[in-house]
Structure 1
């Protein structure tokens, strides 16, 4: 007679697995699939590729490369979040058109350097000379603070603030795209409107910046601080932003200063909902950019003030324009009170 107590029982189809069999099934279930491996490798792969690019070529300051790496980060985020192909397509749907618009603006901005109107410098120079009490603040600040060939800590800080112009708005837009798509569309509308209104002004009122005005002999010679510090830092890729002869370059696109306008746009847009610490940053960023632009010889004070005015007008006007348009296109039935239901007992 067979001893049934000594025979190991085989699990039936409905029995729960035990022992090594159970652990093997658990390992099979937990083994990463193709999609799981993609999720795990998305961010490490992106960061490795970005690190290689930075070490090989330096920081990507051109619009096309900034957008390539920004879109790459959003795709990595979509892959990590498990969005799959749908998440990738959403990234491309929303961001490739934006990249195309900004690239078109950059190209048109370069062509805008050749206009039939004379380039202006005297009104801006007169206003700045008046504000400086007989000397422009660019010349005064550099006389007090700048030592050619021996940059101080605040010179490096000025470089960081100036170069943030090429990244900050896009990074903020990317964060809003991930977290609050409605606000992403709102800020994008403000950014594009401000950009193209600025471009129209460049066409109608070409204007020299202080460094170019000095090169032409109309004001005391001074240093273009950001360019000088970057050249001395061994970062040729970064300094190439200022190279002449580029199809995207427009040295007479100084009025208004979009370097000043974008920080003010961000401050005005986020201010109503911002906490007190965030408001400190929102106020400090336009102020730091304004100081950098004047100290570095990039813009006259009046260029900055006009940029701030453009940002204020657009932040005030664009939401109202879209609000009125939405009110006109809303169905009239939505505004009418719903009819009172008939009492079935009558």
Structure 2
């Protein structure tokens, strides 16, 4: 009996190949995914929400390994994601270079540039017109958009990896290059964000300090609104100075755990890394990368998310318009540069010889 006849008769099962399981494991995969999801929910309920990238990856990677059951070898998760995680760790460690080099911090660059473009600082204008005494319902959306930056790019990476590893690699290359180019900006041009500038007077930051005492105090008693100028509230009861509002939306939901986690993440980050805005730049880069991959009906949502992130950053006092424009320009440069590189590599690739 030939091998083909043996396969037809069922006496010898066909070779499943290195990446194909010998039997259907769909039910096993679904049970494992449900178990992983239950453990994630339990962990979040017991330990709270963490927006540290290492903790997020430690949640995502086991889920990817479970999702590989019956589809591809689990070792591919480690082969692909371990280098990515190590690069992110290197990025986090390299942020300390800013404090080691100790270049003077630019406190006036952002507000002066925004005033030159708009006549006044947009953060001051937005908080004057929109801020209320207590958080409004739409500030929940603002806080959610701001906090999504710590989750969405990694969730998108996980989905892309499951669908197409080649596309995933292109995404990761752009992600890493974008992050390290932004790091160069933080090192060479350290700059204070609006919320910090509202807490300090020109005399207190005349020498360009990176962590003056005024930066960690309330802006309530700062004369003339600090470096930004006073807020003129249109809504009764709103505070007449720029506040850091990125967490205020959670107060509406009485979700203090989220606010505490964001405060902890912000406190451990580089507080004078405003130029460029990686929040705005990386969000724009991710949305532009997804643009040709999604159906047309989803594209307005991508654009709305990128613009919503920019609005949230300005309104909450996290970034100046100048920071956002530089972040967008950096995202455009990364996308154009990789596009050119991909086309150049395709031209350099040898073509297959014609079949006789």
Superposition TM-score tier, normalisation by shorter sequence: 0.7 to 0.9
Is the contact between residue 78 and residue 88 of structure 1 (CA under 8 Å) also seen in structure 2?
yes
1:231–1:239 contact (8 Å) kept in structure 2: no
Residue-by-residue CA offset, 1:231-279 (whole Å, 9 max, x unaligned): 7744345533333896x51001110001001221123223345433211
Q: Could you tell me which residue of structure 1 aligns to residue 122 of structure 2?
A: 137
**Aligned residues of 1:223 and 1:296 also touching (Cα < 8 A):** yes
Matched position secondary structure for 1:67:
helix
- Does 2:308 align with 1:288? yes
RMSD: 2.5
- After TM superposition, list the pairs within 5 Å mapping 1:30-49 onto structure 2: 38-49=28-39
> Aligned match of 1:162 in 106, 131, 146?
146
Matching residue within 256, 261, 277 for 1:240: 261
8 Å contact 2:146–2:309 — kept in the other structure? yes
- Aligned position for 2:194: 210
Equivalent pair of 1:290/1:304 in contact (CA under 8 Å): yes
TM-score after normalising by structure 2: 0.76
Which residue in the other structure is 1:171 paired with?
A: 155
Partner SS, residue 291 of structure 2: helix
Structure showing greater radius of gyration is 1
More displaced 10-residue stretch of structure 1: 314-323 or 265-274: 265-274
Compute the displacement of 1:158 (Å): 0.5
Stretch of structure 1 that moved more, 173-182 or 307-316 = 173-182
Describe the shift of the 1:289–1:40 C-alpha distance in structure 2 as closer, same or farther (beyond 3 A): closer
CA contact (8 A) 2:137 2:249 kept: no
- Whole-Å Cα distance in 1 between the matches of residues 143 and 164 of structure 2? 31
In 1, the alpha carbon distance for the partners of 2:259 and 2:39 equals: 19
Aligned to 1:28: none
Contact 2:49 / 2:261 at 8 angstroms: preserved in 1? no
Which residue of the partner structure matches residue 219 of structure 1? 228
Q: Distance in 2 between matches of 1:269 and 1:144?
A: 34
Shift in Å at residue 95 of structure 1? 1.0
Q: CA shift at 1:291, angstroms?
A: 0.4
Report the Cα distance in structure 2 between the residues aligned to 1:92 and 1:51, rounded to whole angstroms: 24
Q: 1:272 to 1:245 in 2, by over 3 A?
A: closer
1:98-154 Cα distance to aligned partner (Å, 9 max, x none): 111112212222442443321112121112123342x31111111222224x21111
> Shift in Å at residue 94 of structure 1?
0.8
Deviation at 1:338, TM superposition (A): 4.8
Provide the C-alpha distance between the structure 1 equivalents of 2:93 and 2:251, rounded to a whole number of angstroms. 25
Provide the rounded CA distance (Å) in 2 between the counterparts of 1:295 and 1:261: 17
Deviation at 1:318, TM superposition (A): 1.5
> Which of 82, 88, 99 is matched with 1:96 structurally?
82
Which runs of 5 or more structure 2 residues have no equivalent in the other structure?
A: 1-22, 202-226, 230-240
- Asked if 1:78 is matched to 2:76, the reply is no
Identify which of 333, 340, 355 aligns with 1:320.
Answer: 340
Number of aligned positions between the proteins:
296
Change (3 A) 1:245 1:297: closer
1:77 and 1:214 map into 2 onto residues whose CA distance is: 48
C-alpha separation between the residues in 2 aligned to 1:280 and 1:36?
35
Runs of 4+ with >6 A deviation: none
Distance apart, 1:290 and its partner CA: 0.6
Gaps of at least 5 residues in structure 1 are: 1-32, 342-346
Q: Which residue of 2 aligns with 1:180?
A: 164
User: 1:108 and 1:52 mapped to 2: Cα distance?
Assistant: 33
Residue range with higher mean Cα deviation, 98-107 or 109-118: 109-118
The residue number in structure 1 matching 2:323 is 303
Decide which of 117, 122, 128 is 2:108's aligned counterpart: 122
TM-score (norm. length: structure 1): 0.78
| Structure 2 partner of 1:112 | 98
Structure 1 residues 36 and 227: CA distance shift in structure 2, 3 A: closer
